[in-house]
Structure 1
Amino acid sequence: MTAIDPIAAEIAEVEAIVARARTAQASFEINGSQAIYDRAAQAAAWAIMEPSRNKHLAELAVETTGLGNVADKITKNHRKTLGLMRDIADAVTYGIISDDPETGITEIARPIGVIGAVVPSTNPGATPANNIINALKCGNAIIVSPSPKGVPTCETLLGYIYAEFDKLGLDHDLVQMIPGRGSKEKTQRLLEIADLIVVTGSQNNVRRAYTSGTPALAVGAGNVCVIVDETADLAAAAQKIAASKTFDNATSCSSENSIVVLDAIYDAFMAELAKAGGALITDDSKITSTLWVKGHLNPRAIAQDAAPMIEALGLTGEVPADTQFIAVESNGIGPDFPLSGEKLSRVLTVYRAYDFAAAVATTRKVQLHQGAGHSVGIHTKDDTRPLTLANAIPTSRVIVNQAHTFATGGAFNNGMPFSLSMGCGSWGGNSIDENLHWKHFIQSTKIVREIPPREPAVEDIFGEYWAQVGK
């Protein structure tokens, strides 16, 4: 009897899932309309936003991943999904999307096909929901590949989506997931045979996506650095940084990992940060020795509530009882100084800077070490400084006077699209430098008609150039 190759069986399983998705998507497109696409997106959104389901998904996510906290995941599931639904409410994703008599071009919206989405354990409900909604809004089918710890949450989410689909008569095969705990072989095959790959999370998966041969939208690592200058509202800045740093136990790639505080207001700002729950540690070796174990982040400290994190760091009794996060002074930046990188915990590295130019230089150095292209922030009343920062730093976003975690991925009080995946441009090795949103899940066919010619004379193009340098 011939033994069954388990890897071959896993690959065949993925191929069968993709085949079913292709069949479902073809029918979805052929029989589609804007109303059908909109209803499908609404069904997926309500599946995660309905309060009892949202609560269960949040509880399940924390229970099975050990990351984040329930209250904040409920907020994240609700606000990220509601914001996305606001963003796509009036988007035209079916039929003619533009018709320009001047150019003679009529543009018709077309789905991409089958989307493969690799999603992280940090947001096992909100991130797949975001991708699923965008995919359905644009007429696609989608297959989600969750992290092993995220499987139970993803399975439950899909069950809720199917319950909503049944109310509309929609095919379950429009939204599927790679079953079981997953494997590199399963994920790799999905990367190879989907029509578009969306990857959030592991930078190893990002690299695999970009080398898979399939068009890919993958996002870079975060390592947010925020400047607090001498003109800032110090109390407001401290409250915003504290709220952002502690939200969902710093699981977000947009969580502040470092702040750079100008000397002129350093003591005053640190006093405000203490009022907001930040305990200052001046000996960075004390944190480095406990936040990392054998070269890896301590699992007892990452994405945990304040009390267990403080215990894991050996700080019980050394910090105030109401401490919500640790602020640790440091000078070093680079591979030999792990505090200058992403920490996925309620630990905030603090740098001092003599003046604004020095603060910009420190921020640039941090970003070039890790997190290039993602985002930086500034708390200031000087309207010129965000522009200075934007021109000096390899970054796609400069967040001004806001709680970074809440602002970067879209907020109701700024104009960024709601998303859980932030493109980092060429700086972060990404194909996009904007928040992943619905426009990335659609393509178009152009009907091109003849128009009166618009051929310029050579003199019209080169006249000023010739006048300056001659022919």
Structure 2
Amino acid sequence: MTTLDKDLASIQEVRNLLTEAKAAQESLAKMSQEQIDRICEAIAASAYEAREKLAKMAHQETGFGIWQDKVVKNSFASKFVWDSIKEMKTVGILNEDKEQKVIDVAVPVGVVAGLIPSTNPTSTVIYKALIAIKAGNAIVFSPHPNALQAILATVEIISKAAEKAGCPKGAIGCMLKPTMQGTAELMKHQYTSLILATGGSAMVKAAYSSGTPAIGVGPGNGPAYIEKSADIPLAVKRIMDSKTFDNGTICASEQSIIAETSNKAEVIAELKKQGAYFLSPEESAQLERYIMRPNGSMNPQIVGKSVQAIAELTHLSVPKEARVLIAEETKVGHKVPYSREKLAPILAFYTVGNWEEACELAMDILYHEGAGHTMMIHSQNDEVIRQFGLKKPVSRVLVNTPGALGGIGATTNLAPALTLGCGAVGGSSTSDNISPANLFNVRRIAYGIRELEDLREQPVSSSGFNEEQLVDTLVERILAKLQ
């Protein structure tokens, strides 16, 4: 018996999964809102029940983050997300405007390809499955190979629960043999209607280049500005909470701090008090060599690792109680590692003279990396906050809240999501926190209310165009038809 090569076997597996998903989605599309919601509730409940088991699996397999924080992520992706969307209308008639004579109807996109990263593997599967099924779609996952077992376990748990609640078999599928060729087939196949891409820049770019509609997210590189009116102890607490949460693996987490000359000493003192370790120039240079690889990408050896693990890797001697490593920086650029995204408890520290300089520096950082994603500001000055909101090239300006948890909607009223759109400036198709609303189209039933005669120009009087007469005539005819 001939054995298929791994890439060919992966491609065939994807084709089989998509065939099953397409048939399952056709059944989902015929279901009522109540039936869909019953399935989603089962998915959320089963994932929530298994939140600790899956968190430990993800941590053990990837070596990233803190398993206790991954429990929080799984809880967020299941219970928190479901609570936020369970009342959302996603099936059938969404709205009927009797006055304007327009009816909106939800139309599922079809089969969704879900690309899953290794940094948030189990929580992303739960979240993407929930929002896809809620919108009446099937979903097929392409798992990151480094988190394959944790992802497969998650898919097995939620798919069994979904099927028990009436979901057609095959509506939630996952590749068992992930390869680049198989993922390419998943993204380009005619049965794939939409790609939800969460992962590295190369993967997101491939999604947008596939020829299939895609929602992808670029890198986060959010600066956190501590303006002179800020409550400094609280601002520092929030930044530390965010940057240490799951060892910084959420892309909305802070990557740099911007302080003012007037509050620099107080900010540094408070950071040290709360567990930050400021690197000396020599130590900073030593760590810098490990942040990026020669090709300019983030070094996976530091991703999601603790301060102590990073210190051991880089031969640094830091206090045992250190929670975050901070390097003072003055430069920004592709070849300035501290100014870039670091999915680890490492921060750059910049100093500016005033909020105008902070504004320019934040934009410089973001345009080099992280445009369209997220930034944070800690301030009590509403005018400064508004100026940042008006000018920054990001989709989320988070005010007085931890970046990691505020960006995903856990500590803010943004839509709870683990896929954060970066808008056109970030190379994304949307700036939304992705929800079921992004996964269905809207068919509009529109009744005619005017005839051609209503649109024709009225005669021009000797004094010129009789605008008043035209308006009166149009109004009379429209009102007559609406009655």
| TM-score, normalising length: structure 1 | 0.92
1:256 aligns with 2:254: yes
1:428-443 equivalent positions in 2, closer than 5 A? 428-443=426-441
Aligned partner of 1:336 in structure 2 is 335
Matched residues, percent identical?
Answer: 30
Which of 176, 180, 191 is equivalent to 2:187?
Answer: 191
Q: Which moved more, 1:100-109 or 1:143-152?
A: 100-109
SS at structure 2 position matched to 1:350? strand
SS at structure 2 position matched to 1:376? strand
Relative to 1, partners in 2 of residues 1:172 and 1:330: Cα closer, same or farther, differing over 3 Å? same
Residues 302 and 309 in structure 1, CA contact (< 8 A), matched pair in contact too: no
Amino acid in the other structure paired with 2:398: I
Relative to 1, partners in 2 of residues 1:297 and 1:199: Cα closer, same or farther, differing over 3 Å? closer
SS at structure 2 position matched to 1:225? strand
Which of 83, 86, 89 is equivalent to 2:83?
Answer: 86
1:95 aligns with 2:92: yes
Aligned partner of 1:238 in structure 2 is 236
Return the alpha-carbon distance in structure 2 between the equivalents of residues 358 and 446 of structure 1. Answer: 48
Give the deviation of 1:87 after TM superposition.
1.8
Higher alpha-carbon Rg = 2
Return the alpha-carbon distance in structure 2 between the equivalents of residues 300 and 448 of structure 1. Answer: 56
Number of matched residues?
A: 455
1:234-313 equivalent positions in 2, closer than 5 A? 234-283=232-281, 284-292=284-292, 294=294, 297-313=298-314
Residues 132 and 138 in structure 2, CA contact (< 8 A), matched pair in contact too: yes
Return the alpha-carbon distance in structure 2 between the equivalents of residues 196 and 297 of structure 1. Answer: 28
Which of 69, 73, 86 is equivalent to 1:72?
Answer: 69
Residues 227 and 259 in structure 2, CA contact (< 8 A), matched pair in contact too: yes
Amino acid in the other structure paired with 1:161: I
Could you list the per-position Cα deviations for residues 85-134 of structure 1 after superposition, in whole angstroms to 9, with x for gaps in the alignment?
Answer: 12212111111111112222212212111111111100111111111001
SS at structure 1 position matched to 2:262? helix
SS at structure 2 position matched to 1:397? strand
| TM-score, normalising length: structure 2 | 0.90
1:58 aligns with 2:55: yes
Give the deviation of 1:452 after TM superposition.
4.5
Structure 2 unpaired stretches of 5+: 458-464, 471-483
Which of 169, 174, 184 is equivalent to 2:171?
Answer: 174
Relative to 1, partners in 2 of residues 1:459 and 1:196: Cα closer, same or farther, differing over 3 Å? farther
Aligned partner of 1:356 in structure 2 is 355
Relative to 1, partners in 2 of residues 1:76 and 1:459: Cα closer, same or farther, differing over 3 Å? farther
Residues 379 and 400 in structure 1, CA contact (< 8 A), matched pair in contact too: yes
1:127 aligns with 2:128: no
Structure 1 unpaired stretches of 5+: 464-471
Return the alpha-carbon distance in structure 2 between the equivalents of residues 391 and 152 of structure 1. Answer: 44
Relative to 1, partners in 2 of residues 1:92 and 1:456: Cα closer, same or farther, differing over 3 Å? farther
Return the alpha-carbon distance in structure 1 between the equivalents of residues 249 and 328 of structure 2. Answer: 22
Residues 290 and 314 in structure 1, CA contact (< 8 A), matched pair in contact too: no
SS at structure 1 position matched to 2:170? helix
Which of 148, 154, 157 is equivalent to 2:154?
Answer: 157
Amino acid in the other structure paired with 2:441: Q
Relative to 1, partners in 2 of residues 1:456 and 1:40: Cα closer, same or farther, differing over 3 Å? farther
RMSD, matched Cα? 2.1
Amino acid in the other structure paired with 1:367: L
Could you list the per-position Cα deviations for residues 362-400 of structure 1 after superposition, in whole angstroms to 9, with x for gaps in the alignment?
Answer: 111100110001011111110011221122221111111
Return the alpha-carbon distance in structure 2 between the equivalents of residues 384 and 288 of structure 1. Answer: 36
Return the alpha-carbon distance in structure 2 between the equivalents of residues 438 and 8 of structure 1. Answer: 33
Aligned partner of 1:397 in structure 2 is 396
SS at structure 1 position matched to 2:90? coil
Residues 325 and 347 in structure 1, CA contact (< 8 A), matched pair in contact too: yes
Return the alpha-carbon distance in structure 1 between the equivalents of residues 135 and 320 of structure 2. Answer: 50
Amino acid in the other structure paired with 1:192: K
Give the deviation of 1:183 after TM superposition.
0.9
Residues 221 and 370 in structure 1, CA contact (< 8 A), matched pair in contact too: yes
Return the alpha-carbon distance in structure 2 between the equivalents of residues 398 and 88 of structure 1. Answer: 23
Amino acid in the other structure paired with 1:186: G
Residues 54 and 154 in structure 2, CA contact (< 8 A), matched pair in contact too: yes
Residues 105 and 448 in structure 1, CA contact (< 8 A), matched pair in contact too: yes
